[in-house]
Amino acid sequence: MDKNYQIHRLANGIRLIHRQVKTTKLAHCGVVLNVGSRDETLEQQGIAHFWEHMAFKGTNKRKTYHILNSIDSVGGELNAYTSKEKITFYTSTLVEHFEKSVDILSDLTFNSNFPEKEIEKERSVILEEMSMYKDDPTDAIGDEFDEIIFPNHPLGRNILGTVDSVNSFQQKDFFNFLEQNVDTHQVVISSISNLPFEKVVKLVEKYFGGIKEAKKDRKREIFTGYKPQFVERYKPINSAHVMIGSDAFEMHHPKRLTFFLLTNLLGGPAMNSRLNLGIREKYGYVYDISAGSTSYLDSGQFSIYFATEDKSLSKCLKLVHNELSKLRDKKLGVQQLRSVKQQIMGQIAMSGESNLSIMLGMGKALLDKEKFETIEEVFQQIKAISAEDLLEVANEMFAEERMSTLIYHPELKSHS
């Protein structure tokens, strides 16, 4: 691990990972908890995300206004997000306000008191958020595709929960969820600033050191038994929306990085991706077409997404499968392989220019892998990938019989 990253463990099990960047005037700090929507029971669907909202609504020593004003008033940012496996609270401020950030983050993570009146207000906000997502086919199809890939499993459930579950939550439910899931040994404070490690350790000990140790013997439900499905729906929309994909490699799988490279070549953010060139640029059938993969603790997901006019749908599906088959059948040449690697290394290097995204990545990596790999270490792994490796993974992952498909058709289409 890079000597720029230093780690300190508090007596209660909470860990700090810090990187000193002497040239920056900003301090980025986050609290990453190894708790997410997959840790909810069926009745608790959506409570992790609801808690993320409620953390800003009052603690034992601060009201909502004081929490929000504390960082905003000094020109900083205080924010949070929930994923399937993590909840993260974070701040970005000028370095002289770092202590204030650490104080606030400690308070809203561990001392939230979930006022009943605020629960009622925030319930309406989340129900509105759910309506917005359902009204947007791009979001709705992604959520439903999760259910298709991970049926009857927490990874397949919507992070926002259901209308019934969100309507049911009371103050005691939040306290119960925290009691069941927050393990201080599974909490990381991640920090990047020009401050020396010793100073950061001192402030973290001051505000997090008094938190009571909590150990949980929590076991996440492992996902197995993926089965491909073909599902069609009719919606009040103007275009056809499509997702094609399957389960994919888990986070620690040795082929995960090879697959990431392959997915990037197929439909990554660059305009020269195979799907963009072969479907948008060549035929003009789509405005946007992309492919991506996500890795979880024990599984993963691969998906291709596009929207097109209903009349072009069958042509698009054929072209997508054509691109998958090319990657299965034809090994990349020496120049193509070099170009694919250069492209992904450039993208990684650009994301590494953002101290905020590095800080968030450090916290997550320490929880998931017990270390944070430097860009140089990742580059070495990428350089070691061969054209044969890519061909082998393409044949394993892009086999047509593995693919699930979800199509949203416009309702105007006759159901013939």
Q: How far, rounded to the nearest angstrom, does the alpha carbon of residue 243 sit from its chain's CA centroid?
A: 18
Tokens 């599984």: give the residue.
299
- Residues 186, 15: Cα–Cα separation, whole Å: 8
pLDDT of the residue at 3: 63
Q: Whole-model pTM above 0.85?
A: yes
| 46-79 residue pLDDT tens | 999 999 999 999 999 999 999 999 999 999 999 9
pLDDT of the residue at 144: 96
Q: In 150-255, which ranges are continuous DSSP H helix?
A: 163-168, 171-181, 197-208
DSSP class of residue 184 equals G
Element (H, E) at 313: helix 313-329
- Residues 317, 65: Cα–Cα separation, whole Å: 51
Q: Are 233 and 408 in contact (CB under 8 A)?
A: yes
- The amino acid present at 125, given as its one-letter code, is V
Q: Are 272 and 257 in contact (CB under 8 A)?
A: no
- Residues 290, 17: Cα–Cα separation, whole Å: 34
Q: Are 210 and 377 in contact (CB under 8 A)?
A: no
- Residues 15, 9: Cα–Cα separation, whole Å: 4
| 314-351 residue pLDDT tens | 999 999 999 999 999 999 999 999 999 999 999 999 98
Please say if the pLDDT value at position 2 is more than 80.
no
Q: Which of 76, 47, 83 is nearest to 364 (CA)?
A: 83
List, in sequence order, every residue forming a beta bridge with 410; answer none if it has no partner: 235
Please report which confidence band the pLDDT of residue 416 belongs to, taking 50, 70 and 90 as the band edges. very low
| 159-190 residue pLDDT tens | 999 999 999 999 999 999 999 999 999 999 99
| 232-241 residue pLDDT tens | 999 999 999 9
Please report which confidence band the pLDDT of residue 412 belongs to, taking 50, 70 and 90 as the band edges. low
- Residues 150, 161: Cα–Cα separation, whole Å: 16
| Distances, alpha carbon 377 to alpha carbons 286, 348, 380, in Å | 37, 12, 5
Please report which confidence band the pLDDT of residue 157 belongs to, taking 50, 70 and 90 as the band edges. very high
Token code pair at residue 375 = 């860009």
Mean of the pLDDT values across residues 119-144? Answer: 94
| 357-368 residue pLDDT tens | 999 999 999 999
Element (H, E) at 148: helix 137-149
User: The sheet that has 15-20: what strands, in order across it?
Assistant: 5-9, 15-20, 187-193, 26-33, 87-94, 77-82
Tokens 């990684």: give the residue.
348
Q: Which of 308, 300, 304, 341 is nearest to 322 (CA)?
A: 304
Mean of the pLDDT values across residues 191-220? Answer: 96
List, in sequence order, every residue forming a beta bridge with 87; answer none if it has no partner: 33, 82
Q: Are 316 and 306 in contact (CB under 8 A)?
A: yes
Tokens 């008033």: give the residue.
73
Tokens 């020496």: give the residue.
334
- Residues 6 or more apart whose CB falls under 8 angstroms from that of 407 comprise 231, 232, 233, 240, 241, 242, 313
Q: Are 362 and 29 in contact (CB under 8 A)?
A: no
First-to-final CA distance of the chain? 60
Q: Which of 354, 288, 361, 275 is nearest to 318 (CA)?
A: 275
Q: Are 116 and 123 in contact (CB under 8 A)?
A: no
pLDDT of the residue at 374: 85
Mean of the pLDDT values across residues 276-294? Answer: 95
Q: What percent of the chain is modeled with pLDDT above 90?
A: 93
- Residues 340, 212: Cα–Cα separation, whole Å: 49
Mean pLDDT for all residues in the chain? 95
* Angle value at C-alpha 170, between 168 and 171, nearest 5 degrees: 160
DSSP class of residue 9 equals E
- The amino acid present at 85, given as its one-letter code, is E
- Residues 49, 84: Cα–Cα separation, whole Å: 10
Token code pair at residue 124 = 């309406």
Mean of the pLDDT values across residues 196-212? Answer: 98
Query: Parallel, antiparallel, or unpaired for β 15-20 and 187-193?
Result: parallel
Please say if the pLDDT value at position 415 is more than 90.
no
